[in-house]
Amino acid sequence: MNNPKPVENKNNQAFAVSANHPLAVEAGMDVLKKGGNAADAAVAVSYVLAVVEPFGSGLGGGGAAIVLQDGKAMSYDYKEIAPYSGETPEIQAGIPGFVKGIEKLHEDYGSLEMSELMEPAIKLAKEGFEADQYLVDRLQAASYRISKSSASPFFNEDTVIKVGETIKQPELAETLERVKENGAKDFYEGEMATELSQALGVEKSDFQRYEVEKEPPVESTVFGYRIFSAPPPLGGTTLEQILKLAEMFDLKNIEPDQADFPHSLGEFIKVAYEKRLDTVADPRYFSKDMDKLVTDSYIESLKEDLDLSDLPSDVLLEDSTADKKGYDNTTHFVIADREGTMISATHSLGNFFGSGTMINGMFINNSLSHFSTNENSLNKKEPGKRPRSHSSPMILASDEKLIGIGSPGGKRIPMILSQVLLRHIVYGEELQEAIDAPRFIIEGNKIYVEETMSDDIIGELSQRGYDVYIKENPFFYGGVQALVVDEENNQVYGGADRRRIGTWDAKNEH
């Protein structure tokens, strides 16, 4: 599916989906065409992604979503948690939140039957789909840690399937059928909860006690937009801090295609990332005031930690196994419906394919590796606690535009999204142009750049003291998916990252 042109939002009847896989976009659009709303489409998209992009998300993982409806925003955190029993599975698996989170979104906003919305995923699991290059590449990269006996749909004996082969997942189809028939109740309280808890070596009560966290999002104002993003322990606070620092230092006076852009933005990123180590964690486990972290006065206080001289600063950006090893996989989608509701959601298994272990046809997460290895950290592992995450689903709203955006990328997500957003909302680049632009990733004094970065910028960064590395791996730089409802020009359009196989679609149908 090629990315289409913007569609006219005639009579406010336009609707759209942007996701990391074309089959997920197709499933979401089919739901919207039938009269379903954004939450209905989110169910279909989420479960289809679990089938066709099994390395990025699934029933064995979790996620987070921002919903904006009638001007009111709500955050849903259905990320994995540490078992309440105190047990730590050898594969570092947390109690999955995906199934309960999707059901909660549908319960609060959905209109069509859940069973109908799960059918596209069940059909794809039963009848199969063609393996794409993207999936095959991920399988080859992770094959050494995937249990091939349990993940047989993806291997011919010990060899990764080839591009174009049909992948059928009968065991996953059976699990999906059980969820369709019995809902989240079976997954968290019934026979399936018994099976999963025994397989993971935790208590069934660990599943029974799982709850979705529903609360107002982190909200601030920057560059004329109200921003709604995921609250701690998720990454929205960090991303908003980066954007507000960019506004405070008038970054619009710096050209995005000059070395000053990655240097200055890199310093904002470093300060925000360093501060998160002392301020961002599961708020149920300590008494810090999270709401103040995006206030103007707090952002002003961060200025003393900034060094915008030509020399790069070096700060600690990571304190968990996941960050140190660079676990970087999630998936993202955005949906906009006829009623003006928008959902921006990021789902994950932790690393690519999570732990690499399959149970009942689903890959199981390894998200407990996102807890700090430092016992004095706010992010240390405790029973029932959610580990810190960089997932940053976001919605921005102004009088003229509504923007939903997010990306995979692990610890790099706020870095990736800040670059794209600044190019679009500050420098006026078209959304797709901003997504396509060369990216950089800061890690201490090192800066990784895409091969499309100009030689002049690379040379100047080197002169300033950076160790510059050209890194060609497209997965390293995320996979941004976005939608825009443009009130000023009466259009709806999207953006999709060519670094992966994401796409988007929009229609105006009565």
- The order of strands in the sheet holding 225-229 is 7-8, 491-496, 481-486, 401-406, 394-397, 225-229, 218-222
User: Residue 488 CB: number of other CB atoms within 10 A?
Assistant: 9
Helix (H) or strand (E) holding 447: strand 446-449
Gap between the Cα atoms of 245 and 251, Å rounded: 9
Determine contact, residues 64/346, Cβ cutoff 8 Å: yes
Q: How far apart are CA 81 and CA 442, in angstroms?
A: 29
- Nearest Cα to Cα of residue 319 among 268, 349, 279, 292: 279
Is 330 an active-site residue? Answer: yes
Give the separation between CA 265 and CA 418, rounded to whole angstroms.
8
Kindly list the distances between the CA atom of residue 110 and the CA atoms of 186, 256, 364, 485, in Å, as whole numbers in the listed order.
Answer: 20, 41, 27, 21
CB 220 within 8 A of CB 291: no
CA–CA gap between residue 24 and residue 6 (Å, rounded): 19
Both structure tokens of 399: 């009088």
- The distance of Cα 245 from the centroid of its chain, to the nearest Å, equals 23
DSSP state of 95: B
Q: Does residue 507 contact residue 10 with C-beta atoms inside 8 Å?
A: no
Catalytic residue among 330, 341, 346, 357: 330
C-alpha distances in angstroms, 374 versus 202, 303, 320? 24, 27, 8
Q: Measured at the alpha carbon of residue 73, what is the angle toward residues 208 and 71, in degrees to the nearest 5? A: 150
Spatial separation of the C-alpha atoms in residues 45 and 343, rounded to whole Å: 11
Q: Are 337 and 41 in contact (CB under 8 A)?
A: yes
Q: How far apart are CA 97 and CA 350, in angstroms?
A: 13
Q: Any idea which residues carry the catalytic annotation?
A: 330
